[in-house]
């Protein structure tokens, strides 16, 4: 599939929205569509439909392939989305049926991995071969690029750092105690602030906006930064990244998050060269940009 002059069909199946784009070789979006993501196996039909709609709009140019990125576990070889707790599917077959319907080669992968590959090749991680991409929103996940290669587990897992146990006495949605994401996800920051202050907030951005005037906001934010540094410190000691790229909703806090996190992470890693910490360059488009790269070359490391 080296027909680089053609278009790529790229789809990012998110928790609430399917983003779909036709992208040319230079990365320019030729056409785009969005749909709500249905729960369960109906998601496949919605993906198929939005792909069909885009392919019908294409200009007079060949489409070289499709990349579809989804949450949860993915068996890339078998072409099956194995499990998503949030979207409620198990063993959702995608590659064979979508390929037959669209008449294209189709590749699938995990969405966090997609964001990491996109940041590495086209975003905040350009110029380094060793980075960790950490989207922080309702949960916390990570994808690790080491020596230019995406690191995945034996069943296709990305790094589930949100469930590193870094505290005690805080129940996580996974059923265990003290997980990083129960303290430091954007959702947890908002929830903990409301619990401690009695004041309702709509999200972590409201807590960030109160940092200069509200001691409870400062405490909750400090707790989150310290917990993140503990989790990222473990990752740094294990794989030694040059760069940590923070994505997801919490990355919009900018230096109010990044600066204290940089300092706290350095304190955790005196025996290794400390990683710099920066914000995602691609924002919530990282997933679909990674899907376009997946369609073109299967994320084969650049030689």
- What residues line the site for Zn ion (CB under 5 A)? 163, 172, 174, 176, 179
Q: How far is the CB of 164 from Zn ion (least distance, A)?
A: 9
Between residues 184 and 245, which has the closer beta carbon with respect to Zn ion? 184
Shortest Å distance, C-beta 171 to Zn ion: 9
Shortest Å, Cβ 261 to Zn ion: 21
Nearest one of 250, 239, 243, 224 to 166, comparing CA atoms: 224
DSSP structure class, residue 136: B
Q: Measured from the CB of residue 87, what is the shortest distance to Zn ion in angstroms?
A: 18
Nearer to Zn ion, 174 or 211 (CB): 174
Q: How far is CA 62 from the centre of its chain?
A: 29
DSSP state of 51: H
Instruction: Enter the tokens of residue 149.
Output: 């290669």
8 A C-beta contact, residue 89 and residue 83: yes
How near is the Cβ of 174 to Zn ion at its closest, in Å? 3
Q: Which is nearer to Zn ion, 84 or 269 (CB)?
A: 84
Q: Between residues 63 and 136, which has the closer beta carbon with respect to Zn ion?
A: 136
**What are 99's two structure tokens?**
């390929």
Distance CA 280, CA 217 (A): 24
Provide the 8-state DSSP code for 65.
E
Distances (CA, A) of 208 to 113, 141, 265: 28, 21, 20
Which C-beta is closer to Zn ion: that of 162 or that of 286?
162
The residue among 168 and 212 lying less far from Zn ion, judged by its C-beta, is: 168
CB 161 within 8 A of CB 235: yes
Nearest distance from C-beta of residue 16 to Zn ion, angstroms: 22
> Nearest to residue 150, comparing CAs of 183, 125, 170?
125
| Shortest Cβ 176–Zn ion spacing (Å) | 5
In the complex with Zn ion, which residue's Cβ is closer, 151 or 174?
A: 174
Q: Are 131 and 119 in contact (CB under 8 A)?
A: yes
Beta carbon nearer to Zn ion, 115 or 162 = 162
What does the radius of gyration of the chain's CA atoms come to, in whole angstroms? 20
- Write out the two tokens for 66: 């499709």
Q: What minimum distance in Å lies between the beta carbon of 178 and Zn ion? A: 8
The sign of the CA dihedral 297, 23, 250, 180 is negative
Which helix H or strand E contains 135, and what residues bound it?
strand 131-135
Structural contact between residues 81 and 87, judged by C-beta atoms closer than 8 angstroms: no
């Amino acid at each position: 599939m080296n027909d680089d002059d053609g278009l790529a069909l790229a789809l990012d199946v998110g928790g609430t929205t399917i983003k779909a784009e036709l992208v040319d070789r230079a990365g320019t979006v030729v056409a785009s569509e969005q749909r709500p993501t249905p729960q369960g196996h109906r998601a496949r039909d919605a993906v198929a439909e939005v792909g069909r709609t885009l392919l019908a709009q294409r200009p007079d140019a060949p489409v070289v392939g499709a990349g579809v990125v989804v949450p949860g576990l993915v068996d890339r070889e078998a072409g099956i989305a194995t499990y998503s707790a949030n979207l409620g599917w198990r063993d959702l077959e995608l590659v064979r049926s979508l390929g037959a319907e669209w008449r294209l080669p189709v590749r699938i992968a995990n969405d966090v991995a997609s964001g990491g590959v996109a940041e590495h090749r086209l975003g905040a991680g350009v110029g380094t071969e060793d980075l960790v991409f950490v989207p922080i929103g309702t949960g916390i996940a990570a994808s690790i690029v080491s020596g230019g290669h995406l690191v995945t587990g034996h069943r296709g897992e990305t790094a589930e750092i949100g469930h590193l146990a870094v505290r005690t006495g805080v129940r996580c949605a996974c059923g265990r105690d003290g997980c990083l994401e129960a303290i430091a996800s954007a959702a947890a920051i908002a929830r903990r602030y409301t619990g401690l202050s009695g004041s309702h907030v709509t999200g972590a951005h409201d807590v960030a906006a109160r940092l200069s005037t509200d001691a409870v906001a400062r405490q909750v934010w400090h707790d989150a930064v310290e917990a993140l540094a503990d989790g990222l410190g473990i990752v740094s000691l294990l794989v030694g990244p040059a760069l940590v790229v923070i994505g997801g909703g919490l990355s919009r806090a900018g230096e109010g998050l990044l600066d204290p996190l940089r300092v706290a992470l350095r304190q955790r890693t005196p025996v290794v060269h400390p990683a710099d910490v920066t914000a995602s360059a691609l924002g919530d488009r990282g997933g679909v940009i990674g899907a376009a790269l997946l369609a073109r070359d299967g994320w084969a490391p650049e030689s």
